Structure 1
Amino acid sequence: MSVEAMQRQAENYSYKCCRVLFSSSVLNLCELVALRPDLARLKKVLYFHENQLVYPVRKDQDRDFQYGYNQVLSCLVSDVVVFNSHFNMDSFLSSIRSFMKKIPDHRPKDLEQLIRPKCVVLSYPIQFPDVNSLLPEHKRMRCLQGSAETSRADDIITPQHAQQTSRSEEDLCKCTSVSSTVLTPVRGAEPSDEVKPLHIVWPHRWEHDKNPELFFRTLLKLKEQQLNFHVSVLGETFTDVPEIFSSSRHLLESNILNWGFLSSKEQYLHVLSNADVVISTSNHEFFGVAMLEAVHCGCFPLCPKALVYPEIFPEPYLYSTPEQLCKRLQEFCKRPGLVRKHTVKVDTFLFSWTFLKPKFQTLLASP
Structure 2
Amino acid sequence: MTKKILLLSAYRSDSHASWAKWLTQNLAADWRVLELPGRYYRWRIRGNPLSWLDELPELLHDWQPERILATSMVDIATIKGLLPQLAAVPVSYYFHENQFAYPQGEGQHNSVDPLMVQLYGALAADECLFNSDFNRQTFLTGVDALLKKLPDCKPAGLAARLGQKSVLLPVPVNAVAGGEKIPGLILWSHRWEYDKKPELFLQLLQLLKAQNADFKLALLGARAQKIPAALTHIRKEFSAQILVDAMVSRADYEYWLGAAEVVVSTAIHEFQGLSVHEAVSAGAVPVVPDDLCYREQYPASFRYTPGDMNAAAQMIGGVLAEQFRPLPEVKSSADTWQQWLCYC
TM range (shorter): 0.7 to 0.9
Letter in 1 for 2:256: V
Please tell me whether the aligned partners of residues 301 and 317 of structure 1 are also in contact (alpha carbons under 8 angstroms). Answer: yes
Instruction: Identify the residue that residue 232 of structure 2 maps to in structure 1.
Output: 246
Instruction: Identify the residue that residue 174 of structure 2 maps to in structure 1.
Output: 127
Alpha-carbon distance in structure 1 between the residues aligned to 2:94 and 2:226: 28
- Where 2:268 maps in the other structure, the secondary structure is coil
Deviations 1:297-341 (A, max 9, x none): 1101111111110101112111113221121123334x1x233xx
Instruction: Identify the residue that residue 70 of structure 1 maps to in structure 2.
Output: 117
Alpha-carbon distance in structure 2 between the residues aligned to 1:41 and 1:276: 51
Instruction: Identify the residue that residue 303 of structure 1 maps to in structure 2.
Output: 288
Q: Residue 102 of structure 1: CA displacement? A: 4.6
Q: Which residue of 342, 345, 349 corresponds with 2:328? A: 345
TM-score (normalizing by structure 1) = 0.74
- In terms of fraction of residues, the more helix-rich structure is 1
Please tell me whether the aligned partners of residues 22 and 46 of structure 1 are also in contact (alpha carbons under 8 angstroms). Answer: yes
Instruction: Identify the residue that residue 127 of structure 2 maps to in structure 1.
Output: 80
- Where 2:53 maps in the other structure, the secondary structure is helix
Q: For residues 77 and 11 of structure 1, do their structure 2 counterparts lie closer, same or farther at Cα, with a shift above 3 Å needed?
A: same
Is 1:37 aligned with 2:17? no
Letter in 2 for 1:93: L
State the Cα RMSD in Å. 2.3
- In terms of fraction of residues, the more strand-rich structure is 2
Q: For residues 240 and 73 of structure 1, do their structure 2 counterparts lie closer, same or farther at Cα, with a shift above 3 Å needed?
A: farther
List aligned pairs for 1:86-235, cutoff 5 A: 86-103=133-150, 106-129=153-176, 131=177, 135-136=179-180, 197-235=183-221
TM-score (normalizing by structure 2) = 0.79
Q: For residues 116 and 357 of structure 1, do their structure 2 counterparts lie closer, same or farther at Cα, with a shift above 3 Å needed?
A: closer
Instruction: Identify the residue that residue 326 of structure 1 maps to in structure 2.
Output: 313
Q: Which residue of 326, 331, 339 corresponds with 1:359? A: 339
Please tell me whether the aligned partners of residues 232 and 258 of structure 1 are also in contact (alpha carbons under 8 angstroms). Answer: yes
Instruction: Identify the residue that residue 19 of structure 1 maps to in structure 2.
Output: 66
Q: For residues 221 and 47 of structure 1, do their structure 2 counterparts lie closer, same or farther at Cα, with a shift above 3 Å needed?
A: same
- Where 1:351 maps in the other structure, the secondary structure is coil
- Where 2:163 maps in the other structure, the secondary structure is helix
Q: How much identity, in percent, do the aligned residues show?
A: 28
Letter in 2 for 1:271: W
Letter in 2 for 1:358: Q
Larger RCO, structures 1/2 (Cα 8 Å, 6+ apart): 1
Alpha-carbon distance in structure 2 between the residues aligned to 1:203 and 1:16: 40
Please tell me whether the aligned partners of residues 80 and 120 of structure 1 are also in contact (alpha carbons under 8 angstroms). Answer: yes
- Where 2:78 maps in the other structure, the secondary structure is helix
Deviations 1:95-130 (A, max 9, x none): 11222345465455432122111111011112335x
Unmatched segments (≥5 aa) in structure 2: 1-47
Q: For residues 11 and 267 of structure 1, do their structure 2 counterparts lie closer, same or farther at Cα, with a shift above 3 Å needed?
A: closer
Please tell me whether the aligned partners of residues 201 and 279 of structure 1 are also in contact (alpha carbons under 8 angstroms). Answer: yes
Q: Residue 9 of structure 1: CA displacement? A: 2.7
Alpha-carbon distance in structure 2 between the residues aligned to 1:289 and 1:12: 32
Please tell me whether the aligned partners of residues 287 and 316 of structure 2 are also in contact (alpha carbons under 8 angstroms). Answer: no
Q: For residues 306 and 259 of structure 1, do their structure 2 counterparts lie closer, same or farther at Cα, with a shift above 3 Å needed?
A: same
Letter in 1 for 2:109: D
Alpha-carbon distance in structure 2 between the residues aligned to 1:24 and 1:2: 13
Alpha-carbon distance in structure 2 between the residues aligned to 1:85 and 1:210: 18
Range with bigger deviation, 284-293 or 108-117: 108-117
Q: Residue 228 of structure 1: CA displacement? A: 1.2
Deviating 4+ runs (over 3 angstroms): 2-5, 14-17, 58-61, 100-109
Please tell me whether the aligned partners of residues 49 and 78 of structure 2 are also in contact (alpha carbons under 8 angstroms). Answer: no
Please tell me whether the aligned partners of residues 195 and 268 of structure 2 are also in contact (alpha carbons under 8 angstroms). Answer: yes
